[in-house]
């Protein structure tokens, strides 16, 4: 690259050094930009997942019931599964393994949790719906997963879930699975 | 061109000697030499680790090590090979050859250059230290997650994970500094008359690599930093219990990880045509087409990442998008293959060691690319994901496409760098030993993968025994052959037939106009390109 020796006292060599430094610092902006991008990806990812239900993420707050029409022409099966993650000394399972219902109809199912340790233990349930496309049509009105749950030593608790399946569920979905993973919510 | 070698006033040593020369040097050739030496050492370290793995896999059952140590060896092997062997080798060549090829007196930011290198040894120590500490009963060894750091395993792991995270930080800073230096050099330091479109392809390959690096390394650094805060400061980026998502880590990691595979290869794609040109005695075919293909691959590289976790539960439209975009990369890649072959076509070829490595490289890297296409097929990948098929695929791209390409470059430029010819007979022997034992190591792994053997396991079902045995024996031959490589390099540095300035009969380009070895300060007066 040609460097013209302008008459400002600096030798071409010094001018070149200056130009190099300048460009070097400019390139640091790209680095800063991509650091910012990696941090921004976290909220973006969450927004994208809850909006679209990718990954089976469901809402973590209660849905409002806007439309109480029940679509009696359709049957949908919802299956329930449960997992207790390592580090949580509980037994946890649904009282029924599946339910058949009409879209729009509000249902309640019960889950049973038992603390099998001799300590007070807190847990947090994380739901996930599969297939992922169905998750935004799965509406929870009341769920034990909205807040932390605490069990006394040996205590057994019935935990209710009230939900409905939205009537605009795509017609090719007739079955979905709701899975709960219960995590320890105590600080180790 | 004798004007270029005219002794500059500080030609002879206004630089310190001995160890201080290397610690404080800002000379591009010294720094290049340090990068290349470091790379060779780490190549041997990473190689010995994987021979431990192959020894364990020689037979079914657990003979030599417990599964946890096995996993540690695998992860550290990969991190070392990628970050401490392949990347520094490419950076070493960049430092040595880019100023020579574009007629510049040195790299643009010499002091930054020194820093870039000296961050590497500490990070290599960080990576391997947990092994040594474990010997003394401190901690439970290095990270056992594989090189991909996936949570939740990486959140549960011992302090080996923290060591690796800090190592990645240092390595990241080092390559960002190196890349900035290369971009500035290529923009500001070219000889008068050398336009961008007259730059040698090696410079082009590195320009795009450098841009990819500064755009994606920070994302990796960000991801592992979040991992660190999840581990120690109670955040829940990747912890489902707190509302985080482990799959998000996979997105962040591979947003860096896929461009990384092209970062490793673009410099090699740069100098391969130069070698072909030299030994075919014909100009590079399709220079422009190759430059545009580099750009196309660089651009596509950042939009295809999710093909590494097709099986993590992506929705169908996303699967389709990532499948087709991944397959689309093979189009510009095919253009490159065509240009390489056409450069040789009807040339008067001779097969010195660099050319042998290059021709072998084209074939083997071709197999790597084609098997990648198989994996890019969503339906097929459901079967092959996490199997030995993937292991074989990325060794055809990284060992053949990366390391063997680098070896071609070493033989090509070694006479220029040392001023001596290496032993041609030993060089050829090294090629054939490497090529044959490489195939014997990894072809069986394709079949193992097709038959359902998963990767990253220390023990396996009996029906896989024979192929694993073949693979293990060949791996040891492959590893031992590399000692010959070291021997050839050392004897060539020490002495040997004097190399001419042009070295190879058909060699063209500015680096071949300088003496062999080039003077400590080359191109004090820049040549003018017409
Ligand atoms: C047209 C070319 C290519 C295609 C279509 C392709 C496709 C793929 C796909 C789909 C996978 C994921 C397989 C799985 O995990 O199930 C994969 C893995 C991999 N590929 Fe390629 N690939 C190509 C070229 C390359 C190149 C050039 C390199 C390196 C320089 C490379 C390095 C890797 C590595 C390292 C992995 C495994 C990463 C890991 O899981 O640890 N690939 N490739
Ligand atoms: Cu990839």
* Contact: A55, B240; criterion CB under 8 Å: no
Q: How many residues does chain A have?
A: 188
Decide: B344 in ligand 1 pocket, CB within 6 A. Answer: no
* Domain ranges for chain B: 2-513
Say what percent of chain B tops pLDDT 70.
96
Instruction: State the distance from the centre of ligand 2 to the C-alpha of B303, rounded, in angstroms.
Output: 10
pLDDT(B7) > 50: no
CA distance B434 to B357: 10
The secondary structure of B333-374 as a DSSP string is: HHHHHHHHHHHHTT------HHHHHHHHHHHHHHHHHHHHHH
Residue from B113, B188, B238 whose CB has the most chain A CBs within 10 Å, to mutate: B188
CB atoms within 10 A of CB A131: 17
The secondary structure of B464-488 as a DSSP string is: GHHHHHHHHHHHHHHHHHHHHHHHH
Ion ligand 2 residues within 5 Å by Cβ: B 258
Q: Cβ distance A90 to A113 under 8 Å?
A: yes
Q: What is the pTM of this model?
A: 0.85
Q: Pocket of ligand 1, candidates B147, B368, B393, B401: which has the most ligand atoms within 8 Å of its Cβ, to mutate?
A: B393
Return the residue matching tokens 């060549």. Answer: B93
* Contact: A54, B318; criterion CB under 8 Å: yes
Q: Is B303 on the interface with A (CB under 8 A)?
A: no
The minimum-distance atom of ligand 1 relative to the CA of B373 is 5
* Contact: A130, B222; criterion CB under 8 Å: no
Q: Cβ distance B446 to B375 under 8 Å?
A: no
User: Which residues, at least 6 apart from B180, have a Cβ–Cβ distance to it below 8 Å?
Assistant: A24, A27, A28, A31, B109, B112, B210, B214
B79-83, B289-293, B341-345, B495-499: least confident range: B495-499
Query: With a CB-CB cutoff of 8 Å, which residues 255-294 of chain B face chain A?
Result: 255
Tell me the torsion sign for CA atoms B447, B451, B453, B454: positive
Confidence band, pLDDT 50/70/90 cuts, at residue B529:
confident
| Segment of A166-170, A180-184, B77-81, B131-135 carrying the highest mean pLDDT | B77-81
Decide: B380 in ligand 1 pocket, CB within 6 A. Answer: no
HSE (CB half, 13 Å, CA atoms) of B112?
Answer: 23
Say what percent of chain B tops pLDDT 90.
76
Q: Is A10 on the interface with B (CB under 8 A)?
A: no
Decide: B376 in ligand 1 pocket, CB within 6 A. Answer: yes
Confidence band, pLDDT 50/70/90 cuts, at residue A51:
low
Decide: B304 in ligand 1 pocket, CB within 6 A. Answer: no
- What would the pLDDT profile of A127-137 be if each residue is shown by its tens digit? 888 887 788 88
* Domain ranges for chain A: 7-52, 56-184
Question: In this structure, what token pair is assigned to residue B14?
Answer: 């206004």
Which pLDDT score is estimated for A50?
A: 66
Say what percent of chain A tops pLDDT 70.
83
Question: In this structure, what token pair is assigned to residue A153?
Answer: 């030593």
Which pLDDT score is estimated for B391?
A: 97
What average pLDDT score do residues B483-510 get? 91
How far does the CA of residue B491 sit from the closest CA of chain A (Å)?
39
By C-alpha distance, which of A153, A56, A185, A161 is closest to A112?
A161
Q: In CATH, which superfamily holds the domain spanning A56-184?
A: Ctag/Cox11 (2.60.370.10)
* Contact: B245, A57; criterion CB under 8 Å: yes
- What would the pLDDT profile of B252-278 be if each residue is shown by its tens digit? 999 999 999 999 999 999 999 999 999
Answer with the residue of higher pLDDT: A157 or A130.
A157
Q: Pocket of ligand 1, candidates B322, B330, B390: which has the most ligand atoms within 8 Å of its Cβ, to mutate?
A: B390
Q: Which residues of A touch B219 (CB under 8 A)?
A: 34, 37-38, 41
Provide the mean pLDDT of chain B: 91
Q: Which residues of B touch A46 (CB under 8 A)?
A: 245
Q: Cβ distance B126 to B167 under 8 Å?
A: yes
- What would the pLDDT profile of A12-35 be if each residue is shown by its tens digit? 788 888 888 889 889 999 999 999
What average pLDDT score do residues B468-473 get? 96
Yes or no: domain B2-513 corresponds to CATH 1.20.210.10? yes
Decide: B397 in ligand 1 pocket, CB within 6 A. Answer: yes
The minimum-distance atom of ligand 1 relative to the CA of B387 is 16
Decide: B148 in ligand 1 pocket, CB within 6 A. Answer: yes
What average pLDDT score do residues B18-24 get? 80
CA distance A112 to A160: 9
């Amino acid at each position: 690259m040609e460097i013209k020796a302008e008459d400002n006292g600096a030798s071409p060599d010094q001018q070149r050094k200056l130009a190099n430094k300048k460009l070097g610092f400019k390139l640091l902006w790209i680095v800063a930009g991509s650091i910012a991008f990696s941090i921004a990806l976290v909220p973006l990812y969450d927004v994208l997942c809850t909006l679209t239900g990718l990954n089976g993420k469901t809402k973590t707050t209660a849905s409002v019931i806007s439309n109480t029409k029940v679509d009696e022409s359709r049957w949908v099966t919802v299956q329930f599964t449960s997992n207790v993650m390592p580090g949580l000394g509980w037994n946890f399972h649904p009282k029924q393994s599946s339910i058949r219902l009409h879209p729009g109809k509000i249902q309640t199912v019960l889950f049973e949790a038992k603390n099998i340790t001799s300590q007070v233990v807190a847990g947090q349930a994380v739901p996930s719906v599969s297939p992922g496309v169905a998750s935004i049509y799965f509406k929870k009105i009341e769920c034990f997963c909205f807040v932390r749950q605490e069990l006394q030593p040996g205590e057994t608790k019935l935990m209710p879930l009230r939900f409905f399946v939205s009537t605009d569920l795509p017609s090719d979905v007739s079955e979905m699975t709701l899975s709960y993973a219960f995590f320890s919510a105590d600080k180790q | 061109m004798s004007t270029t070698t005219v002794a500059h006033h500080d030609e002879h040593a206004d630089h310190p000697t001995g160890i201080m020369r290397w610690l404080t040097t800002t000379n591009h050739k010294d720094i290049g030499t340090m990068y290349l030496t470091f790379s060779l050492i780490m190549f041997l370290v990473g190689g010995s680790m994987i021979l431990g793995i192959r020894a364990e896999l020689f037979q079914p059952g657990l003979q030599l090590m417990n599964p946890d140590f096995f996993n540690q060896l695998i992860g550290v092997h990969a991190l070392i090979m990628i970050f401490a062997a392949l990347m520094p080798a490419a950076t070493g060549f960049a430092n040595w050859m880019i100023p020579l090829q574009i007629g510049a007196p040195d790299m643009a930011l010499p002091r930054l250059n020194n820093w870039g290198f000296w961050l590497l040894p500490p990070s290599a120590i960080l990576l391997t230290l947990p092994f040594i500490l474990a010997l003394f009963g401190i901690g439970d060894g290095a990270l056992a997650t594989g090189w991909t750091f996936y949570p939740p395993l990486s959140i549960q792991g011992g302090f080996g994970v923290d060591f690796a995270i800090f190592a990645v930080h240092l390595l990241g800073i080092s390559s960002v500094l190196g890349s900035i230096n290369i971009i500035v050099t290529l923009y500001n330091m070219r000889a008068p008359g050398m336009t961008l479109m007259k730059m040698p392809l090696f410079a082009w390959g590195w320009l795009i690599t450098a841009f990819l690096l500064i755009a994606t390394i920070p994302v990796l650094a960000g991801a592992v930093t979040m991992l660190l805060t999840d581990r120690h400061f109670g955040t829940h980026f990747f912890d489902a219990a707190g509302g985080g998502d482990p799959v998000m880590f996979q997105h962040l990691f591979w947003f860096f990880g896929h461009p990384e595979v092209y970062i490793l290869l673009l410099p090699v794609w740069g100098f391969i045509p130069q070698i072909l040109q030299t030994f075919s005695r014909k100009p590079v075919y399709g220079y422009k087409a190759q430059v545009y293909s580099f750009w196309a691959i660089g651009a596509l590289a950042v939009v295809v990442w999710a093909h590494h976790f097709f099986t993590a539960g992506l929705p169908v439209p996303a699967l389709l998008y990532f499948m087709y975009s991944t397959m689309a990369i093979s189009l510009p890649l095919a253009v490159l293959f065509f240009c390489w072959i056409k450069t040789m076509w009807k040339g008067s070829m001779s097969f010195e060691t660099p050319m042998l490595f290059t021709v072998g490289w084209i074939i083997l890297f071709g197999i790597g690319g084609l098997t990648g296409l198989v994996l890019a097929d969503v339906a097929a990948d459901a079967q092959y994901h996490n199997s030995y098929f993937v292991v074989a695929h990325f060794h055809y791209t990284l060992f053949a496409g990366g390391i063997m390409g680098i070896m071609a470059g070493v033989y090509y430029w070694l006479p220029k760098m040392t001023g001596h010819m290496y032993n041609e007979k030993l060089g050829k022997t090294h090629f054939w030993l490497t090529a044959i034992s490489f195939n014997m190591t990894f072809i069986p792994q394709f079949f193992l993968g097709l038959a359902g053997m998963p990767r990253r396991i220390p023990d396996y079902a009996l029906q896989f025994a024979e192929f694993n045995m073949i693979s293990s024996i060949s791996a040891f031959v492959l590893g031992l052959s590399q000692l010959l490589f070291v021997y050839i390099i050392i004897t060539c540095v020490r002495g040997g037939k004097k190399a001419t300035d042009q070295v190879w009969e058909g060699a063209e380009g500015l680096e071949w106009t300088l003496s062999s070895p080039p003077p400590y300060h080359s191109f004090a007066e820049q040549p003018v390109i017409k």
